Amino acid sequence: MYTVQSFIEHHRIENRCKEIVGELNLKSNYNLIYVEEGSKRFADSLVSKIDHAPTLIPLRISTYTGSSSTYKARLNNTDLEKLKKVNYAQPTLLVDDICDSGRTLSYVQSLLPAGIVTIVLLDKPDNHICRVRIDHAGFEVPGNLFFVGYGMDYNGRFRDLDYIGVMRQKSVLKKNETIDVFH
């Protein structure tokens, strides 16, 4: 049997989002580039705490299958075109749910001007294998755990949890197998 246990409660996530927004000190319009689908909830939480509405730029990048990284991060041509049209004279935030190896963020950062501000909900610094700049991390977490909830998923499951949970085993679930969720 597999279990998902609460690791970071909802109120702690919301409080940390408020702190990050306070550190940003945005006083005008801004761009918010976020990696779908995992970071959408985190991005929405940040936006709800900022007085000014952003220009939202969602990017579709997937580097995981189940709990294993595919080791490749690529954007399609549509998303590359979106990035070319961004007004980088405005403050620009790059938001992702988790920095594990750093491959995804490093790749996206390589496509953007140097002045962007990178924000991640979870950072696993012990797992970084490439140079990546993180300006604001919600929480630094152990590299040996697999996280779900608050937008992060396991094969499309658990994305809707309002807290961050940790899966105790990374094995692939069999069809109709149940997972106990503790909160």
Residues designated as active site = 100
**Residues ≥6 apart with Cβ < 8 Å to 72:** 63, 103
**Contact at 8 Å (CB) between 137 and 120?**
yes
Give CA–CA dist 162/128, Å, rounded. Answer: 27
| Dihedral-angle region of residue 119 (phi above 0 means left; psi in -120 to 50 means alpha; beta otherwise) | beta
Tokens of 15: 């409080």
CA dist 151 → 35, 52, 61, 89, 121 (Å): 11, 23, 14, 30, 10
Q: Which residues contact 100 (CB under 8 A, 6 or more apart)?
A: 69, 124, 127, 143
